[in-house]
Amino acid sequence: MLFPRTLRLDGSDTRIYERAAESGELAVPGAFAFLDCDPNALTGKRLQAFAHGFLGTVSFGWSTLVIISEISETDFEQVIDRLAHHFVAHYGAPDLAAALPVARDEAVSAAGMCEYRVNTLLTVEREFGEDGIIERFKVIRPPSAIDHEQVKIWGVMDE
């Protein structure tokens, strides 16, 4: 299964966001974090998270980039479990039974973004529209002269 994973190419995310995701976390778009926000009240680091962030599912910090990676079914289920617990602890879900289907939908949606090859980078741009939050995902591919299947030009590194 393919799934987005946070990627930190430099230290900018630690300065851009209130909490930066660690490099290598499985991630979801995370627009749900802004559903009840007043668009005019978003400023500074919170506005940056809204406009350009993916939500890591371990630290629940933000990342500007994600890289498409292969994960196991167990990893996928762990994402769902962590999201469900997060929904109960931080978003008012009454219990895990109520949070699990919503968490699964979020994880399935994140996996659905991964229609590109492994190691492809994605960014997000968000804005508020008349009907709610509008998300646009941008794909960053390596140069076409490179055989993408044979050469990995970026990846997750331990700092």
| Tokens coding 34 | 């802004």
DSSP strands (E only) in the chain: 2-7, 27-28, 54-56, 62-63, 65-70, 121-129, 132-140
Residue 83 DSSP SS3:
helix
- What is the model's pTM? 0.88
pLDDT digits (tens, 9 = 90+) for 4-29: 999 999 999 999 999 999 999 999 99
Give me the percent of the chain exceeding a pLDDT of 70: 89
Residue 147 lies in a domain: no
Asked if residue 36 is part of any domain, the answer here is yes
Number of H helices, E strands in the chain: 4, 7
Report if residue 132 sits inside a domain: yes
pLDDT at 66 over 70: yes
Burial level of 20, CB count in 10 A (0-12/13-18/19+)? buried
Does residue 151 lie in a domain region? Answer: no
Backbone angles phi, psi at 5, to 5 degrees: -130, 135
Q: Rounded to 5 degrees, what are φ and ψ at 34?
A: -120, 10
> How high is the mean pLDDT of the chain?
91
Number of structural domains in the chain:
1
pLDDT digits (tens, 9 = 90+) for 96-116: 999 999 999 999 999 999 999
Q: Specify if 152 maps to a domain.
A: no
The residues, any chain, with a CB within 8 Å of residue 75's CB and separated by 6 or more, are 3, 26
Quickly state the pLDDT bin for 54 (edges 50, 70, 90): very high
Q: Is the predicted pLDDT of residue 145 greater than 50, yes or no?
A: no
Max Cα–Cα distance, the chain, nearest Å: 52
Q: Tell me if 148 is assigned to some domain.
A: no
Q: Residue 150 falls within a domain, yes or no?
A: no
Distances (CA, A) of 8 to 23, 56, 63, 104, 151: 5, 12, 7, 26, 19
In the beta sheet, which residues pair with residue 134? 127
Q: Is residue 28 part of a domain?
A: yes
Per the structure, the complete domain to which residue 55 belongs is given by 2-140
